[in-house]
Every structure is written in structure tokens, then in C-alpha cells.
Amino acid sequence: MNKHIQIAIDGPVAAGKGDIALRLAKELGLVYIYTGAMYRALGLACMSQSVPMDDQKKVLEVLQSIKIGLQYSPLHEKPYQVFLDGEDVTDRIIKQDAAMAASRVAAHADVRHEMVEQQKQIAQGKSVVMEGRDIALRILPEADLKIYLTASIEERAKRRLEQFQKNGIEKTLSDVLSDTKKRDEQDMGRAADPLKKLPDSWELDTTNLNQEQVVDAIKSELSKRGLL
Ligand code: DC
């Protein structure tokens, strides 16, 4: 494998970006960076300070006043952890309110600008697999492989429901389906860097694939490009 490799994964809600990126990180010895966790932590901070999420100036002030930490520890039972001002919020940010808050604060151009700067710093000089909505576009425009990971909305909602159930969060499939649609609309419809597949991204539809098959497909694409 190359000495230095950077893989960007973008895609809609619950396309499997996190699970796949974590598997790739472990198998290829890369650092896993979950950028959505940072927007979720910011959303959480805004909720706890009762800051209106539509107010760009106030949301930016919150971002500039907090410290968000990401930690990747492949051998730990929690392979990644997210810290907000030193407090471990990993379990808290998976909830639906944090996801929706993240999507709302992520709509502001100035907030994105600041996040992009922080996220570029985190990735700098490292071999990484980084996932989010603007990785190929803004964070790693020179990535060795840019993946656009997707799946049908029904399959994504089903997978997200299973994740919630695993974490003891009670939801119905129709709730999860409507939240997924709403968040997709926000993330793809915003003016500031909306989620979209770039012309130089490689699209992988995972609707009928299990995680192992997705990882194999990505590894074979890396080999084809002489990156493995
Ligand atoms: O990946 P996720 O679902 O945990 O991300 C939560 C929200 O954060 C998502 O709905 C949109 C936003 N986000 C973003 O705009 N840009 C990123 N790079 C990552 C996440």
C-alpha cells in the first residue's frame, strides 16, 4: 500500500458510511475521521444553550466557543469517541434530535467554513478514511479515492432503525423513514455546499450488498487504481 493514502466517503443519511469507513480503517491501518460527529456535537451545544439553530451568527459563536474532540482507537470497545468540552458525548450524539440539529447547523456557510478548517487540520499529513457530506469537495479535494456511497431510501431507513434498536432507542420504521427524507432534503437542498456526487467520485450503490461485499468492492477499486 502507498505510504500515505486518503479516502473520502460522502453520501446521504444512513448509507453505511460509518460502518464501512471503520472497517476500511481497521483493515488498511488508516485513521477514521467522522465529520458528522462534529456537526452533531455543535448541534448538541446549541440545544443545551438554547441557541436558535437558524441564527447563523449565534451558531458560529457557539462553534468558536466550544472544543470538539474526535478520538479514534481501533482496539477500544468504542472505536471512536466524540468529546464536547472534554465530556464524552459519543452515545448522546447518535440520537435523532442531535442528527436533526446537526443537519440544521450545517446549513450555514460560515459555520461550514470554520468546520472545514478544523477538519482539514485533523486530516493533515495522515493516512485517513474520512466520511461526511463535503469530504471530496472541500476537505480532501486531492483524495486518492473519492467514494459516493448510497442506497435506496427504504434500505437506509431500515439500517438506521436497526442501529437505533441495537442502541436501545425506540423508533418506528415510518418515523425513521420520514426523518431520513427530511434530513436528505436539508443536506441536498441547502445553498452552502449541498451534498452531491462529484464528477470524479466513484459511486457505489450498497442497497443489495452486505458490509463485507461493500468493503471488498472498495478494496478492489483501490487495487485497480494501484493504491493497494
Ligand atoms: O453523517 P451524519 O449523519 O452523522 O451527519 C449529521 C449531519 O451533519 C448531516 O445531516 C449533515 C451534516 N454534515 C455535513 O453537512 N457535512 C459533513 N461533512 C458531515 C455532516
**Per residue in 87-118, pLDDT tens?**
999 999 999 999 999 999 999 999 999 999 99
Q: How many structural domains is the chain composed of?
A: 1
Q: Whose CA is nearest to atom 15 of ligand 1?
A: 106
| Domain coverage including residue 187 | 6-194
* Domain of residue 32, CATH code: 3.40.50.300
Residue 205: inside a domain = no
> Is residue 123 pLDDT above 70, yes or no?
yes
Residue 212 CB-density burial (10 A; 0-12 exposed, 13-18 middle, 19+ buried):
exposed
38: which residues sit within 8 A by CB, 6+ positions away? 68, 70, 82, 115, 118, 119
Do 206 and 15 touch, CB atoms closer than 8 A? yes
Residue 111: inside a domain = yes
157-170: average pLDDT: 95
Residue 72: inside a domain = yes
pLDDT at residue 15, as a whole number: 97
CA 202 to chain centre: 17
Which residues of the chain form beta strands (DSSP E)? Answer: 6-10, 31-34, 68-72, 80-84, 87-88, 128-132, 145-150, 202-205
Residue 84: inside a domain = yes
Residue 216: inside a domain = no
pLDDT digits (tens, 9 = 90+) for 141-160: 999 999 999 999 999 999 99
3-state SS class at 222:
helix
Confidence of residue 4 (pLDDT cuts 50, 70, 90): confident
Residue 207: inside a domain = no
Q: How far is the CA of 32 from the centre of ligand 1 (A)?
A: 15
Residue 228: inside a domain = no
Instruction: Write down the mean pLDDT value for the chain.
Output: 97
> Is residue 180 pLDDT above 90, yes or no?
yes
Q: Whose CA is nearest to atom 4 of ligand 1?
A: 36
Of 33, 40, 133, best ligand 1 pocket probe by most atoms within 8 Å of the beta carbon? 133
Residue 214: inside a domain = no
> Is residue 1 pLDDT above 60, yes or no?
no
